[in-house]
């Protein structure tokens, strides 16, 4: 079935806010414009955000103040038209950077941080209070005892993006969105909340609270309350707004901005004017988003390559005639998926517009002239292993727009799975070039093969054929040591979450085990229990049971063969303490001041009969608090409640007697 613009926009909107985007911003905007040309009154064009998906792991929460969106313009002429149609007598504007992040509302009662909710559909979002409390720029106690809702954009500054994603393979908005969706707060301290709006709860200013008269005054108030703001200016006349926009665009093109933005927001500075203009279709008439036009150039599709990922997803990438965009030569551009190809009308030999607008991978956003005689035909077989491809069902029962290779032994899937496993276990030295060489030489064909590696087997492996570079003895020894130290002992959730199983990451596995103790036994994951609605519901995945069962069965042989080499840490850490002679149980909260990762302590502790766990329970003996001066995390609060002693990383190292990796016996 071919999707129309309407269906594809709905899927794209849901994926953008709650998953992995299936198209670029430029592709989405082009698709929206096509729908607007057909039906300018379509309700989809008036939607704000997207409803929280049924399988969300986060608790839903209602907004106290509706979170709307903004109208868009893409040129100075359109901005002038917006102004003429609103209030041409007004001449003072507030212009600010439009950060490319995730919208969040933070609520304060009597000056105390109470709750943080993602935008969702503007009425209901996901409760991320525990995570947002760790953000930079989020005061937990305001200097004034007021009850207000503060609207923020949660972003990753470029310097923090590099820390979280050193190879910068996924754009910072998607990385930040992934952090917001976690329950364990991992990565939250790298997020910055940029505040841009403040509203008294109940709609009226309370005693002692003097509401600002202007947008600029509101910014001064937010700073006084301790918030971090996006860059902004007060502009006299539209000409100054235009200058601010051009200066901002030039800085963006020179990559001089501290965080990614996709335009500027223009508002009438007088709040009275904004109130008088009101709101239509959930969009305030007194403000508008002036978005950057995508950096586009015309090119031609020469051929299409179908790439296979570790989950088996087969996605199309167009090889285009080389073209310069934004200072780089583009030869490849994303086509997203089969439905997007059909919606665009893309063909081989077509003249197309290629965009590079804030996305890591350039994308084809428009077809200027197609070639009807040379359609792009989706493959029926995997381009790597030649096994038949399938269309899988989404959680809502609809057909996925993505084709899948379901052959668990497909070499492309193998390489992707190996990359995923090594990254999840933080195994150093096994980068893309080394793993590719290991697979190409058939030294490693599955994850279990990693455990069979010996230095003498791989020291002469050629990892760069053009330069004749070999792996070398020292690096081979380091890789084997890393696998032994970081891949030998893990919890069941960590183990299952390392295989890139569709829909099953480490955190979801942990939550399922907590919700349904029967899943502490590995066999229950494979015996068909997840196919039973009642069992899946008890595990907290009523809509995912069948999908998870099929994905697990697909990788069962690899999982069981890997299990031979791995010791699974029992779920009940109290039993660990009894089993190990004098063993202690440790948990760590926060980013460690030494720069080490929590996993760096797992092997040294395990070697001495001790255990490092992810969650605070009654069986934990010590909680290592990375920053005692930081606001208390959920783990810290729980540890205090349970009477668990708190120690610092320095105290842990003194207790161990040295540096991780070189520890004497206790």
DSSP state of 378: P
CATH class of 60-291: alpha beta
Provide the residue count of the chain. Answer: 666
DSSP state of 398: P
| pLDDT band at residue 581 under the 50/70/90 scheme | very low
- For 570-604, give the DSSP string: PS-HHHHHHHSTT--EEEEES--TTS--GGGGHHH
Of 468, 409, 463, nearest in space to 438 by CA = 463
Burial of 570 from C-beta contacts in 10 A (0-12 / 13-18 / 19+): middle
Of 124, 16, 122, nearest in space to 70 by CA = 122
Structure tokens at 660: 């991780």
- Each residue's pLDDT tens digit, 241-294: 999 999 998 888 777 899 999 899 999 999 999 999 998 877 899 999 999 877
Residues 335 and 343 sit within 8 Å (Cβ to Cβ):
no
Which sign, positive or negative, has the C-alpha torsion 190, 195, 196, 200? Answer: positive
Query: Which stretch, 183-187, 192-196, 400-404, 660-664, has highest mean pLDDT?
Result: 192-196
Which pTM was predicted? 0.57
Of 560, 625, 562, nearest in space to 588 by CA = 625
Structure tokens at 110: 């009597």
How far is residue 77's CA from residue 93's CA, in Å, rounded to a whole number?
16
CA dihedral 263, 269, 275, 277 (to 10 degrees): -70
Average pLDDT (168-190) is 80
Quick check: 575 pLDDT over 50?
A: no
How far is residue 347's CA from residue 342's CA, in Å, rounded to a whole number?
9
How far is residue 586's CA from residue 608's CA, in Å, rounded to a whole number?
13
- Each residue's pLDDT tens digit, 131-154: 898 899 999 899 888 899 999 999
| pLDDT band at residue 172 under the 50/70/90 scheme | confident
How far is residue 630's CA from residue 385's CA, in Å, rounded to a whole number?
51
Which sign, positive or negative, has the C-alpha torsion 438, 444, 449, 454? Answer: negative
pLDDT score recorded for residue 448: 93
DSSP state of 25: H
pLDDT score recorded for residue 455: 93
Given the structure tokens 């670029």, which residue do they identify? 24
pLDDT score recorded for residue 601: 81
Of 491, 474, 475, nearest in space to 425 by CA = 491
Given the structure tokens 């096509």, which residue do they identify? 34
CA distances from 565 to 449, 558, 569 (A): 10, 12, 13
pLDDT score recorded for residue 562: 93
pLDDT score recorded for residue 427: 85
Q: Which residue has the higher pLDDT, 617 or 306?
A: 306
How far is residue 225's CA from residue 137's CA, in Å, rounded to a whole number?
10
Burial of 54 from C-beta contacts in 10 A (0-12 / 13-18 / 19+): exposed
Lowest mean per-residue pLDDT among 271-275, 482-486, 568-572 = 568-572
CATH class of 411-487: mainly alpha
CA 114 to chain CA centroid, Å, is 24
Q: Which residue has the higher pLDDT, 425 or 393?
A: 425
CA distances from 412 to 118, 126, 439 (A): 36, 36, 9
Residues 364 and 344 sit within 8 Å (Cβ to Cβ):
yes
Angle between the N-to-C axes of helices 545-554 and 556-563, in degrees from 0 to 180, rounded to the nearest 10: 60
How far is residue 313's CA from residue 378's CA, in Å, rounded to a whole number?
13
pLDDT score recorded for residue 226: 92
CA 269 to chain CA centroid, Å, is 34
Helix or strand run (H / E) with residue 423:
helix 411-424
- 107 forms beta bridges with 115, 149
How far is residue 499's CA from residue 509's CA, in Å, rounded to a whole number?
12
- Each residue's pLDDT tens digit, 9-66: 776 766 665 555 566 666 677 777 777 777 777 777 766 666 666 556 578 889 888 8
Given the structure tokens 């970081």, which residue do they identify? 486
How far is residue 65's CA from residue 201's CA, in Å, rounded to a whole number?
8
| pLDDT band at residue 567 under the 50/70/90 scheme | confident
pLDDT score recorded for residue 23: 64
- Each residue's pLDDT tens digit, 208-223: 567 899 999 999 999 9
pLDDT score recorded for residue 598: 79
Lowest mean per-residue pLDDT among 468-472, 536-540, 607-611 = 607-611
How far is residue 361's CA from residue 416's CA, in Å, rounded to a whole number?
18
Q: Where are the strands (E) in 474-536, listed by range?
A: 489-491
Residues 136 and 92 sit within 8 Å (Cβ to Cβ):
no
Angle between the N-to-C axes of helices 238-253 and 76-86, in degrees from 0 to 180, rounded to the nearest 10: 150
pLDDT score recorded for residue 343: 84
3-class SS of residue 504: coil
How far is residue 460's CA from residue 469's CA, in Å, rounded to a whole number?
9
Q: What is the mean pLDDT of the chain?
A: 83
Query: Which stretch, 100-104, 401-405, 583-587, has highest mean pLDDT?
Result: 100-104
Of 5, 8, 40, 6, nearest in space to 400 by CA = 8
Residues 367 and 346 sit within 8 Å (Cβ to Cβ):
yes
Q: Which CATH number fits domain 573-666: 3.50.50.60, 2.40.128.110, 3.40.50.10190, 3.40.50.300?
A: 3.40.50.10190
pLDDT score recorded for residue 479: 93
| pLDDT band at residue 194 under the 50/70/90 scheme | very high
**By percentage, how much of the chain surpasses pLDDT 70?**
85
Half-sphere exposure of 113 (CA within 13 A, CB side): 22
- Each residue's pLDDT tens digit, 296-344: 889 999 999 999 987 788 999 999 999 988 667 889 998 888 888 988 8
Residues 252 and 108 sit within 8 Å (Cβ to Cβ):
no
Q: What is the 3-state secondary structure (H, E, C) of 273-322?
A: HHHHHCEECCEECCEEEEECCCEEEEEEEEEEEEEECCCCEEEEEEEEEE
- 5-47+294-369: CATH homologous superfamily? Nucleic acid-binding proteins (2.40.50.140)
3-class SS of residue 272: helix
How far is residue 122's CA from residue 70's CA, in Å, rounded to a whole number?
12
CA 159 to chain CA centroid, Å, is 17
Task: Tell me how many degrees the CA angle 19-23-29 measures, rounded to the nearest 5.
Answer: 115
Domain borders along the chain are 5-47+294-369, 60-291, 411-487, 573-666
Task: Tell me how many degrees the CA angle 489-491-494 measures, rounded to the nearest 5.
Answer: 100
First CA to last CA distance, the chain: 66
CA distances from 399 to 306, 363, 390, 396 (A): 19, 23, 10, 9
């Amino acid at each position: 079935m071919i999707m129309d613009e309407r269906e594809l926009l709905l899927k794209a909107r849901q994926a953008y806010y709650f998953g992995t985007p299936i198209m670029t911003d430029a592709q989405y905007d082009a698709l929206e414009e096509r729908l607007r040309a057909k039906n300018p009154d379509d309700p989809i064009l008036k939607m704000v955000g997207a409803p929280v998906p049924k399988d969300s792991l986060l608790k839903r929460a209602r907004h106290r103040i509706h979170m709307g969106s903004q109208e868009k313009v893409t040129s100075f002429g359109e901005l002038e038209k917006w102004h003429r149609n609103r209030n041409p007598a007004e001449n003072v504007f507030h212009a600010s950077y439009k950060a490319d992040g995730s919208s969040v509302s933070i609520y304060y009662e009597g000056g105390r941080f109470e709750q943080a909710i993602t935008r969702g559909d503007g009425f209901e979002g996901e409760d991320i209070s525990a995570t947002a409390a760790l953000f930079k720029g989020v005061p937990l106690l305001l200097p004034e005892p007021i009850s207000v809702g503060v609207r923020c954009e949660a972003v990753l500054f470029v310097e923090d993006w590099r820390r979280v994603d050193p190879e910068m393979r996924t754009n910072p908005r998607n990385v930040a969105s992934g952090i917001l969706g976690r329950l364990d707060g991992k990565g939250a301290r790298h997020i910055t909340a940029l505040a841009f709006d403040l509203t008294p709860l109940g709609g009226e200013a309370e005693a002692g609270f003097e509401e600002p008269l202007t947008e600029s005054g509101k910014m001064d108030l937010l700073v006084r309350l301790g918030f971090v703001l996006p860059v902004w200016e007060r502009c006299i006349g539209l000409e100054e707004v235009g200058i601010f926009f051009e200066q901002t665009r030039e800085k963006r093109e020179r990559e001089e901005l501290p965080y990614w933005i996709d335009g500027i927001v223009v508002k009438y500075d007088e709040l009275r004017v904004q109130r008088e203009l009101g709101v239509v279709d959930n969009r305030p008439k007194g403000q508008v988003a002036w978005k950057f036009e995508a950096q586009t150039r015309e090119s031609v599709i020469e051929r299409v390559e179908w790439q296979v990922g570790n989950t088996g997803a087969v996605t199309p990438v167009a090889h285009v005639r080389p073209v310069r965009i934004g200072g780089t030569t583009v030869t490849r551009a994303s086509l997203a998926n089969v439905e997007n190809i059909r919606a665009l009308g893309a063909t081989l030999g077509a003249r197309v517009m290629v965009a590079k607008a804030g996305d890591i991978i350039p994308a084809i956003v428009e077809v200027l002239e197609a070639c009807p005689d040379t359609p792009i035909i989706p493959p029926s077989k995997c381009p790597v292993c030649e096994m038949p491809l399938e269309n899988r069902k989404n959680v809502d029962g609809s057909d996925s727009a993505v084709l899948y290779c379901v052959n668990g032994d497909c070499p492309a899937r193998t390489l992707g799975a190996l990359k995923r496993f090594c990254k999840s276990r933080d195994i150093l030295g096994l980068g893309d070039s080394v793993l590719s060489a290991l697979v190409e030489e058939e030294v490693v064909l599955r994850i279990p093969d990693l455990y069979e590696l010996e230095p003498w087997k791989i020291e002469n492996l050629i990892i760069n054929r053009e330069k004749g570079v070999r792996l070398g003895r020292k690096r081979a020894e380091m890789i084997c040591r890393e696998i032994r130290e970081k891949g030998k002992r893990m919890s069941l959730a960590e183990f299952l979450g390392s295989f890139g199983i569709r829909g099953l990451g480490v955190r979801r596995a942990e939550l399922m085990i907590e919700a349904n103790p029967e899943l502490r036994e590995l066999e229950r994951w494979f015996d068909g229990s997840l196919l039973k609605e009642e069992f899946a519901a008890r595990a907290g995945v009523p809509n995912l049971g069948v999908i998870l069962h099929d994905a697990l069965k697909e990788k069962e042989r690899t999982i069981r063969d890997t299990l031979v080499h791995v010791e699974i840490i029992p779920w009940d850490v109290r039993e660990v303490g009894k089993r190990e002679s004098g063993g202690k149980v440790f948990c760590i909260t926060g980013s460690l001041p030494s720069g080490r990762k929590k996993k760096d302590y797992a092997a040294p502790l395990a070697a001495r009969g001790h255990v490092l766990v992810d969650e605070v329970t009654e069986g934990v003996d010590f909680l290592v608090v990375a920053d005692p001066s930081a606001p208390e995390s959920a783990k810290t609060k729980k540890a205090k409640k349970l009477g668990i002693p708190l120690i610092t990383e320095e105290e842990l190292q003194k207790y161990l007697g040295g540096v991780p990796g070189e520890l004497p016996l206790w």
